[in-house]
Amino acid sequence: MQASLKGGEHLVRGTKTYHKNFARDIREFIGERDAQMVIDKLNGNMLHLENFYFNHTVVNGELRSLFWVDDICKCNYNAFGDVVAFDATYDTNNVDNHQKCVTFGAGLLYNETIESFTWLLDSFLKAHVKHPRLVLTDQDAAMKQAVSSVFTESTHRLCMWHVTKKLPAKVCMFVVTSWRTPTFDRVFTNLYGTCS
């Protein structure tokens, strides 16, 4: 943190004790206000940045969920938002037509329940207005129910990456080791692609 405050690692000086004291001072300054500082910063962004969207929930004084979208996320969604992959594991999905990752928004959830995912998808829809044509998710049952209740105009499918990663666990090892060839993979992929 000091390197970013001072302009680089080469400008940071001090002993181990100095750095421990600095960390202590930061913790004292922030105290119990860490969540409120984040909310205040994102609310400030909503006031001062034209296309910034932010939503959050607080339950019994505890921050439970955050969702935000900036101008770049909105531009990405306008260009590539016909297919949306919700990545609960961060950074394993969402690529543009140049095979580069794109982000349509960011969210933090307290838990992975139907209610939490529904809140997240509602916030996503408020930020972007239009439904995606296709929604890809992993096999999470709560996410599946939330997608069907919020994205009523979208088609929902399981992400092929997750399906193929779980294939060996779901099919006996004889089939996987004996039949898993480039031909099998091609036939399996074609079969999955024709399912509706």
Query: What are the tens digits of pLDDT across the range 2-15?
Result: 667 777 766 777 77
Q: Residue 146 pLDDT > 70, yes or no?
A: yes
CA distances in angstroms from 129 to 82, 83, 102, listed in the order given: 13, 15, 18
pLDDT of res. 156? 87
**Same domain (yes/no): 55, 148:** yes
Q: Is residue 163 in a domain?
A: no
Q: Residue 100 pLDDT > 90, yes or no?
A: no
**Same domain (yes/no): 27, 64:** no
Q: Residue 138 pLDDT > 70, yes or no?
A: yes
Torsion angles phi and psi, residue 189, rounded to 5: -65, -40
Q: Of residues 134 and 97, which shows the higher confidence score?
A: 134
Q: Is residue 22 in a domain?
A: yes
Question: DSSP string of 34-65?
Answer: HHHHHHHHHHHHHHHSTT-EEEEEEETTEEEE
**Same domain (yes/no): 6, 94:** no
Q: Is residue 127 in a domain?
A: yes
pLDDT of res. 193? 56
**Same domain (yes/no): 154, 196:** no
pLDDT of res. 161? 64
**Same domain (yes/no): 25, 120:** no
pLDDT of res. 1? 67
Rounded-to-integer distance, Cα 39 and Cα 131, Å: 27
**Same domain (yes/no): 24, 1:** yes
**Same domain (yes/no): 109, 37:** yes
Per the prediction, the chain carries an average pLDDT of 80
**Same domain (yes/no): 58, 97:** yes
**Same domain (yes/no): 91, 48:** yes
Rounded-to-integer distance, Cα 165 and Cα 188, Å: 13
Q: Residue 55 pLDDT > 50, yes or no?
A: yes
Reference 65, options 102, 21, 120; nearest CA is 120
pLDDT of res. 142? 92
Q: Is residue 164 in a domain?
A: no
Q: What domain range is 1 assigned to?
A: 1-31
Contact of 67 with 76, CB cutoff 8 Å = no
**Same domain (yes/no): 137, 40:** yes
What is the side-by-side strand order in the sheet with 62-69? 53-59, 62-69, 106-109
pLDDT of res. 196? 42
**Same domain (yes/no): 131, 61:** yes
Number of folded domains in the chain? 3
Mean pLDDT, residues 40-65: 92
**What residue type is 91 in one-letter code?**
D
**Same domain (yes/no): 39, 26:** no
Residue 174 has, within 13 A of its CA and on its CB side, a CA count of 0
